[in-house]
Amino acid sequence: MHVCLHLDPSRLLRWHLWLAEAIADDPANEVSCSFGSERHPLPLICRSLLELERLVYRVGGDGATDAMPAALRALARSTTAPDILINLSGGEPAPPARRVLTPVFNGVGGEVGVLEALANDADLLVELHDTASASGPWTARPASADRDVLAVTLDGTLSCAVLLILKALREDRRPAAADPARPGMVAPPAPPASALAWASGRVASKAMSLVNIVARGGKMWGVGWRRDEGTGLLDKGKAVFEVLAADADSYLADPFPFRHQGHDFIFVEQYSYKKGRGCIAVAEVHRDGTVSGPRIVVEEPHHLSYPFVFERDGQIWMIPESGAARNVSLYRAVEFPYRWAREASLIDHVEVYDCTPLFRGGHYWFFVSPRRWKSTSWDVLNVYGAESLTGPWVPHAANPILIDASLSRPAGAFMEHRGQILRPVQNCLRGYGDAVTLCRIDALRLSAFAQTPTGVIRVEGFGCHTYNRRSGVEVIDMFGRVRQLREVTASHEPLSAEVPAAADRRLGVSSMPADFA
């Protein structure tokens, strides 16, 4: 397949190179480039802001908007009409091709649309117009690790744009109309005045107040727990959770309850400020309602969190999050709950987060959020399948299943409630750990996936990104000023309409009868 990148010669950027290299990874593809006649360089204020941010915030190199003219000009020039043309020129009409893909950022045909979205406090949105589709553009809803830093937001948004384009290239599309309409775009000769005002004021104010709020005495994560007594938060609508105390040098997050031989335990991430990384710890819930102090049970040289503990084949296993090590590791309980041995690596050489298994219909699945290029680990969902716990684990045919910061990253174990399979997910559209959305699984097969949002869990006055309920113990975590806090109140609000967010096969989200295979 011949794929041509149509570029603005004044704006040859690193994210374009990421895309070209990823397409060329498939030996069946031929990648070329062409250059438009119009020039719309990144405005001076944007370039100046990006340079200032590198100094003020110490933003690392290899950014998505770094200039890469030599590498991109080294691509083969297109001399024939390509099978697919990706119009990255930012507003110029595309040359003829059998199929044309055109990314648009918050309605603007260029990267400056990201700046406009920030200036107007809008959700980030990437739309990929496709002349081979009559059903509207492909869409992605990226997260930003810090909306106050343009470089960080551009890195995440443009990384997601690459993933969205790659997904579109792999999908079969319906035949185009005889004369498909070109997507309406706004040429970006200069950013809007609101964006300029935002850029000037934001850097000046933030440069004077660089502090790490996730520090001792400030905001941090905490864990809440309660006895279920037959009715959980989803049934009651509101419930009070006791806060599990952490020592002065750490915080707790990502709680997972587990019952063994009549005893209840809560596994957590225990993050050490001194070590600068998380370990896996466990606390025992006693029959008198007291809880033991957390005790570290798994520690590695790299960060660990999200201790998914489960029983399978007569053994107790744990899959903690180990994205920093670029693998998914499986641990076995040697002496539950305090001694564990690393048994296997399920997948290697990938940076993925919050692995959440599902065993259904004799098939093994796990759900993860990957990080690619300069994206966050909050906005993409991948699924893997296998015939046994130790694999081999095969990527789902539709990966990435989702590119949506509000519906992608796992937030706890799958659960059955009123005959439905529910998947807790993190809503990170406006920031990490804002709330937990519950999604009903409608379809999960080797070539399909569908889910529908059914409810939202929030903790009053705090952020939240994990919810679990198992064997009479219900747990949640919360972000804020939790030191010295005794209890918190959480609520569950059903989404009465139960209308899927973007009921569209391009996002893998739709409402349909339950279908597992």
Q: What is the pLDDT of residue 133?
A: 82
- Final residue before a domain boundary, out of 207, 230, 261: 207
345 band by pLDDT with thresholds 50, 70 and 90? very high
In this predicted model, what pLDDT tens digit does every residue of 272-305 receive, in sequence order?
999 999 999 999 999 888 899 999 999 999 999 9
96's tokens: 């003829």
Is there a single domain that holds both residue 168 and residue 287? no
- 510 pLDDT exceeds 80? no
Is there a single domain that holds both residue 46 and residue 139? yes
**Mean pLDDT value across residues 111-128:** 89
pTM for the model stands at 0.84
Cα(23)–Cα(72) distance, rounded to whole angstroms?
14
Q: What is the mean pLDDT of the chain?
A: 85
- In whole angstroms, how far apart are CA 370 and each of 35, 154, 160, 247, 321? 32, 18, 11, 31, 11
C-alpha angle with apex 373: 439 to 321, nearest 5 degrees? 50
Total count of residues recorded for the chain: 517
Is there a single domain that holds both residue 243 and residue 121? no
215 in a domain, yes or no? no
86 band by pLDDT with thresholds 50, 70 and 90? very high
Q: Are 102 and 13 in contact (CB under 8 A)?
A: no
Residues 6+ apart with CB under 8 A from 29: 1, 2, 3, 23
DSSP SS3 for 206: helix
Q: What is the pLDDT of residue 103?
A: 95
Count of the separate structural domains present in the chain: 2
**Mean pLDDT value across residues 117-122:** 86
Q: Which long-range contacts (CB under 8 A, 24 or more apart) does 339-342 make?
A: 339/297, 340/280, 340/297, 340/298
Q: What is the pLDDT of residue 379?
A: 92
Query: What is the b/e burial string over 49-73, where b = at least 16 CB atoms within 10 angstroms of the residue's CB?
Result: bbebbeeebebeeebbbeebeeebe
Cα(351)–Cα(322) distance, rounded to whole angstroms?
8
191 band by pLDDT with thresholds 50, 70 and 90? low
Q: What is the pLDDT of residue 157?
A: 95
Is there a single domain that holds both residue 235 and residue 176? no
Is there a single domain that holds both residue 176 and residue 305? no
Is there a single domain that holds both residue 281 and residue 196? no
**Mean pLDDT value across residues 405-416:** 95
Q: Which domain holds residue 270?
A: 220-516
In this predicted model, what pLDDT tens digit does every residue of 55-69 receive, in sequence order?
766 666 688 999 999
Range with lowest mean pLDDT among 159-173, 227-241, 265-279, 487-501: 487-501
415 in a domain, yes or no? yes
In this predicted model, what pLDDT tens digit does every residue of 147-179 receive, in sequence order?
888 888 999 999 999 999 999 998 854 444 434
Q: Are 275 and 250 in contact (CB under 8 A)?
A: no
251's tokens: 């915080």
In this predicted model, what pLDDT tens digit does every residue of 247-271 receive, in sequence order?
888 999 999 999 999 999 999 999 9
- Final residue before a domain boundary, out of 154, 177, 207: 207
Residue with structure tokens 């005794």?
486
Is there a single domain that holds both residue 369 and residue 412? yes
Is there a single domain that holds both residue 386 and residue 262? yes
Cα(511)–Cα(517) distance, rounded to whole angstroms?
17
The CATH number covering residue 248 comes to 2.115.10.20
337 in a domain, yes or no? yes
Helix, strand and coil percent figures for the chain, each rounded to 5: 15, 40, 45
- 500 pLDDT exceeds 50? no
Cα(366)–Cα(62) distance, rounded to whole angstroms?
31
Half-sphere exposure of 61 (CA within 13 A, CB side): 2
Cα(117)–Cα(148) distance, rounded to whole angstroms?
12
| Residues 305/480/486/406 CA torsion (nearest 10 deg) | -60
Q: What is the pLDDT of residue 210?
A: 39
Is there a single domain that holds both residue 202 and residue 348? no
**Mean pLDDT value across residues 95-112:** 90
Rg, the chain, Cα only = 24
432 in a domain, yes or no? yes
212 in a domain, yes or no? no
Is there a single domain that holds both residue 152 and residue 67? yes
- Final residue before a domain boundary, out of 185, 207, 229: 207
Residue with structure tokens 């010669």?
9
Which residues on adjacent β-strands are paired with residue 227?
A: 473
Is there a single domain that holds both residue 110 and residue 140? yes
Is there a single domain that holds both residue 406 and residue 294? yes
166 in a domain, yes or no? yes
Q: What is the pLDDT of residue 508?
A: 41
79 in a domain, yes or no? yes
214 in a domain, yes or no? no
